[in-house]
Structure formats: C-alpha cells, structure tokens
Structure 1
Amino acid sequence: MKKASGKRVITEDVVKYVAGLSRLSLGEKETVKFCGQLSDILGYIDQLQEVDTSETMPTIHALPSMKNVFREDEIKEGLPADEALKNAPSRNGKLFTVPRVV
C-alpha cells in the first residue's frame, strides 16, 4: 500500500498477494479494477476518520428505543448423541464425519 498525496492507494502487488491468499486467480483487468475500488474504499475510510465524534454518545442500536431482550440462562438437558446423529449422512461412532475441506 502506498500513500499518494495523503491518499492511501492499494498496489497491484497487494491485490495479487491477497488474491493468492484467497486462492483466487485474477486477470490483469480485474487486478487493476480492484486496485481502484479498494483505494476508493480506503479513501472513504480516511474521510470517516476526520469526522468529529467527540460529542457523540456511544450507541448499541441506531434507534434509542430499541433494546436487547435477554432471557434468563437456564440449565437444560442436551440432545442425546444418538438423537443428534440419527439423520447424519455419515458418522463414526458418536461423531459426525464430513468431507475433508483443505
């Protein structure tokens, strides 16, 4: 990432590096396109950093009338393993088996 005239700019090398980490293959046009888009996003974030929020109260919700409704924690009996596994397509004893991902 470079800083050009106070603006952060994503380089093609950074886009290619992140694409490689994500196992994505990008063409030259896509790489250039994403450089511009990501640089624009960082520029917008820089604009947000300049906003004075010192007088703004922290909020959880956008609407002050909203609040979380929590239930009391209750200890309950869990689902028996046989019941949980009865519809499993594949299992090994009391374990689900799934295809390897990596």
Structure 2
Amino acid sequence: MKVDHETLHKIAHLARLDVRPEEEQALVESLNEVLTWMEQLNEIDTTGVEPLTHISGELNMLRDDVVQNQLPREQALQNAPDKTEQYFQVPKVIE
C-alpha cells in the first residue's frame, strides 16, 4: 500500500490535523517509509510465537487497603502555616 496526497488528506481529516501544503510531500514520504517497514515485519515467520499483551511478565503486587495508625488531627495541623481548629487553610484559587 502506498500513501498518496489524497490518502494523506483523508488521514489528516480523520485525525483533525491541519497539514500545510509545504509539509505534504515530507509526510507522504514518511508514511510510505513506515508502511514499507511494516511490510517487512509481516514477512517474519512468527509461527509458534505466542502473542504478547505485555512486554514483561511482571505483575503488579497490590495490597489490601487496610486502615493503620492514623496521624492525629492536632499533630497533622501543628506545623501548618495557616489553619483553623480542624482544617488546613489554603489561598482561594477560584473566584
């Protein structure tokens, strides 16, 4: 498959890209290089190779969400630059 200027315009429209006329030729050549590379990959014999869903076999080690020692409110607020009895005070950011 080769990409021509008409195909490039369709791809750009679908991707909502504005392609300037002076960029078109370079983009067509670049897309054609990628497609040529993909065709070369398709020539590789992959019989007996299991498809991968992840590059590595690593697994996420998830832990249970268990409540443990909590920081008392007074201790959490003691070094706060601005506070009320129970809360941190921060500058207003929304008008």
Shorter chain as normaliser: what TM range?
A: 0.5 to 0.7
**Corresponding residue for residue 15 of structure 2:** 22
Q: Output the amino acid matched with 1:20.
A: H
Runs of 4 or more above 6 Å deviation: none
How many residue pairs end up in the alignment? 70
- Structure 1 spans left out of the alignment, 5+ residues: 1-7, 73-88, 90-102
SS in 2 for 1:63: coil
CA distance in 2, matches of 1:57, 1:23: 36
CA RMSD of aligned residues (A): 3.0
- Unaligned 5+ runs, structure 2: 65-93
Give the number of the structure whose alpha-carbon radius of gyration is greater. 2
Deviations 1:22-71 (A, max 9, x none): 3433222211111111111111111111111112233343334x235467
Quick one: structure 1 residues 41 and 33, their matched pair in 2 at CA, closer, same or farther if it must change by over 3 Å?
Answer: same
- The change in CA–CA distance for 1:68 and 1:9 in structure 2 (over 3 A counts) is same
Whether contact under 8 Å (1:61, 1:67) holds in the other structure is: no
Opposite residue 37 of structure 1, the aligned amino acid is S
Structure with greater strand percent = 1
Task: Give the TM-score normalised by the residue count of structure 1.
Answer: 0.50
2:47 maps to 1:54: yes
* % identity of equivalent residues: 25
Superposed counterparts of 1:1-102, under 5 Å: 8-64=1-57, 66-69=58-61
Once the two structures are overlaid, the 10-residue window that deviates more, 12-21 or 33-42, is 12-21
Name the SS for the 2:28 alignment partner.
helix
The residue type equivalent to 2:35 in the other structure is L
1:52 alignment partner, SS class:
coil
